[in-house]
Chains A and B, each alone.
Chain A
Amino acid sequence: MSRERFATWAEQAQRDWLDTDGRPLSEVSSPLYPSDTVEVACPYSGGRKGRPMNETAQLQVRAHAEAGLATLSVAVGPEPRVADVFAAATRVVAAPLFLQRPVPAASSALYKTTAGFLQLVTALLLASPDLAGTPARDLPGPDSLQNVLERGRWLIGQRQVCAGSPGEIALAWEVLCGRRRVEGSALPLAPAAWAPQATALVLALTLRAHERLLRAEREGLAGFGTAEPQVEAWPLGARLWYRRPAPWLVAATANPDASAEQVRRCFAGTEGVLEALLAAGTTSHAEDERAFWAAAKGLPV
C-alpha cells in the first residue's frame, strides 16, 4: 500500500480523483472535468481579467474557506519557517492520498487552493539558498505577492485563470506565512513525515532528468525529439519532465540552471531519503529511476 500510494503521488494520478461534488481534484486539467462547469470571464484586474475562470470551483472553494484556512493554520504551525510552509503545502496537496474516495469536498477545495501556493513556494525555495530556515513572516506581504503573481503570470493557466479573488489569495498567503491565524477544526493532512519527503523525491528525480536532458543525455528515451516520442516507455524522471503533471514540477524545470541538489533548499535540515537519491551516483535516466524507488523505501509507511 505504501508503495502504491507513493507511486500515485509520483505520477500525480490523484489529480483525476473525484470529490463528493463530482469534481476532479485538478479541475480543468482532468479529462473528468464536468461539462456543466460554469466558466465566466474573470472580473479581477490584471492579466487574468476577461479570461475564462471556473466559477463552479470558486464557489466550492468559498463554501469551505473557513475550514481550509483553519487547516492551513494548523499545517504551518506557530512561527513557521519558509520550509514549514513548503511542508504544510505538501501535506495539504497530498492529503487525498490518505482519504477515502470520493475525496471530501472540503479537502478537494483546499487542494485546489493550495496547489498553486505549493508551486510558488517550491519555485521560491529552489531559487533561494538559505531561505528555508527563515521565518515565513518575513516573506513579502500581499501587495508584493500580487505584484509577483501578476508579473510572473502565475495566475494564468493553460485554459483558465486562478479563480481566487485578490483578497482571498492575500488571506491564504498571510495564513501560510504565519502572520495571521484562523481558528477552527482542521481537515485531515498527509503525515508530516511523509509528504515533504515524498515531494522532494519526485522533485529531485524530475530535476535530475532535467539536468541530463540539458546535457542531451537521452539514453532509453525512444523517439525523443521526434513527432512520435514513446513517452510511456521512458524512465519515470523523463516522463515527469515531459508531461509535468504537477504544478510544482512545472515551476521546477523552467529554470535551465535548476538541479536536483537544489531540492535540499526546500528543507531547513537534512532529509535522509533525498540524500539517498542524490548520493546514488547514477549515470543514466534508468539508474536514476532505480535509485528513486530504492530511496523511496526509506519513506515512513
Chain B
Amino acid sequence: MIDTPGVSVFASPSRLGALSVLAFSAPALAGDSEQKQVSKPVAPPYRLSYETAVTPKGIELKIFAQNQTDAVLLVDDDPFVEAAWVQLQNGDQQRLNAGFDADMMSRSGPRRRWMAVKPGERLLVGTRTLVPGSEEQQWDVDPKPQGPVPAQGDLSLKVNVVMKDRTDTVESVVHLGQPTS
C-alpha cells in the first residue's frame, strides 16, 4: 500500500468472521448569496459564502461556512465542488473544473477531517482552484486551464457539504469581480 490510501470507512469485526464496513456518506456541497439547498427540503444549519480571486492559473475559491445555530456544527473540511460554471458577460457558458485529490470523488473515510464551527462563527472550510476545462479532465488532480480564466461573470457552484449526521448539496451563484460577503 504505497502512498496514503484514501478514504475510508472501516470496519469492525465485532465478533470477527466478517469486517463490517461502516461507510460514511458521500460528500456534499454548498454556496453563498443566491443559495438554495438541493438535496433536502430544509435549509442547512449553516450559510456558505465564498471569496474568489482570479489568477492566471484559475479562480481561487475559498469556501466559508457560517454556523446559524446555537450549537457547534461539525463540518467536513473539504466541501466537494460537484459542478462549477461561469455565465460569461457575452452570454456564453464556460465549464470549470475543481482541482481535487483523486480520492475525493467518493470521500468517505480516512481522509475526512472534521471542523467544528462555533455558533455564529464563519470558518474557512475549504479551498479549491477552478480552471476552465472539459468533461474529460473533470477529476484531474491538477487540471490545467483549457482556455482563458474568466475574470467577470456569474460563477455558479454546486457544492456538497458533509456534516456529522447529514449531507447537503447546495447551489450558489457568486459574482466574479465583485466583493462577496
Contact = CB atoms under 8 A, between A and B. Distances in A.
Please indicate whether A and B come from the same complex rather than being unrelated chains.
yes
Interface string A153-178: 11111111111100001000000000
B5 A153 contact: yes
Contact of B8 (A138, A154, A241): A154
Interface residues on B, range: 35 or more
A147 B19 CA distance: 9
B13 A140 contact: yes
Interface of B: 1-14, 16-19, 21-24, 51, 62, 72, 74, 101-103, 106, 108-118, 121, 123-125, 127, 141, 164
**Which of B8, B9, B113, B115 is packed against the most chain A CB atoms within 10 Å?**
B8
A145 interface: yes
A5 B7 CA distance: 30
A117 interface: yes
B4 to A, nearest CB: 5
A124 B12 contact: yes
A119 B55 CA distance: 38
Nearest to A112: B2
B8 A123 contact: yes
Contacts of A163: 2
Contact of A158 (B51, B101, B115, B164): B101
A254 interface: yes
B164 A256 contact: yes
A128 B12 CA distance: 5
B115 A225 contact: yes
Contacts of B72: 214-216
B3 A29 contact: yes
Nearest to A151: B21
Contact of B18 (A120, A131, A144, A161): A144
B11 A154 contact: no
A140 B2 contact: no
A54 B16 contact: no
A117 B22 CA distance: 18
A152 B10 contact: yes
A224 B180 CA distance: 21
A231 interface: no
Contacts of A244: 113
Interface in A213-238: 213-216, 225-227
Contact of B127 (A119, A216, A227, A254): A227
Contact of A116 (B1, B18, B124): B1
Contacts of B9: 151-153
B103 A156 contact: yes
B158 to A, nearest CB: 22
Contact of B116 (A156, A162, A216): A216
Contact of A124 (B11, B17, B121): B11
B74 A152 contact: no
B2 A241 contact: no
Given A123-B8, A148-B21, A216-B72, A153 B109 contact: yes
20 contacts: A27-B2, A28-B2, A117-B1, A120-B1, A124-B11, A127-B10, A144-B18, A153-B8, A153-B106, A154-B7, A155-B1, A157-B4, A157-B6, A158-B101, A158-B141, A162-B2, A215-B116, A225-B125, A227-B62, A250-B4
A180 interface: no
Given A154-B1, A156-B5, 15 more contacts: A123-B10, A124-B12, A127-B22, A128-B13, A134-B16, A140-B18, A147-B21, A152-B11, A153-B5, A153-B6, A154-B7, A160-B2, A213-B115, A227-B124, A244-B113
Interface in A96-134: 112-113, 115-117, 119-120, 123-124, 127-128, 131, 134
A241 B113 contact: yes
Given A144-B18, A153-B8, A157-B4, A119 B102 contact: no
A92 B13 CA distance: 24
Nearest to B112: A254
A4 B22 CA distance: 38
